[in-house]
Amino acid sequence: MAATPKKYIVTDGELTLLLETAEEGGYVVTSPFNPDVMTQGDTLEEAFEMARDVIQTYADYRAEKAKAAQPASKATRPKGRAAAKKTA
């Protein structure tokens, strides 16, 4: 019978992670406060590094998506007759 995986809740004072020992070694890493975090690490230090990388990647993605969804600024909109011709 396989051993029951052990789970640990750890924090570095800024980030709280749930580590579950992986059968192949290392940890499966999630965060109880951030459902976007799902990664793995061989050591505790790597677990925090990988989790921070996931969080930053999602933040960058969301920022790019929000920027793409914004309407064009006044500087990029056509003015005067060019605007009238394009809308007509």
d(CA 27, CA 18): 9
Cβ atoms of 28 and 43 within 8 Å: the answer is no
9-56: per-residue pLDDT in tens?
999 999 999 999 998 999 999 999 999 999 999 999 999 999 999 999
Amino acid at 68: A
Alpha-carbon distances, residue 8 vs 16, 17, 33, 43, 85 (angstroms): 10, 8, 15, 13, 64
pLDDT at residue number 71: 79
pLDDT band at 76 (very low <50, low <70, confident <90, very high): low
- What stretches of the chain show up as alpha helix (H) in DSSP? 44-69, 80-87
For residue 7, pLDDT over 60 is answered with: yes
The predicted model scores a pTM of 0.70
Domain boundaries, the chain: 7-76
pLDDT at residue number 13: 95
pLDDT at residue number 79: 61
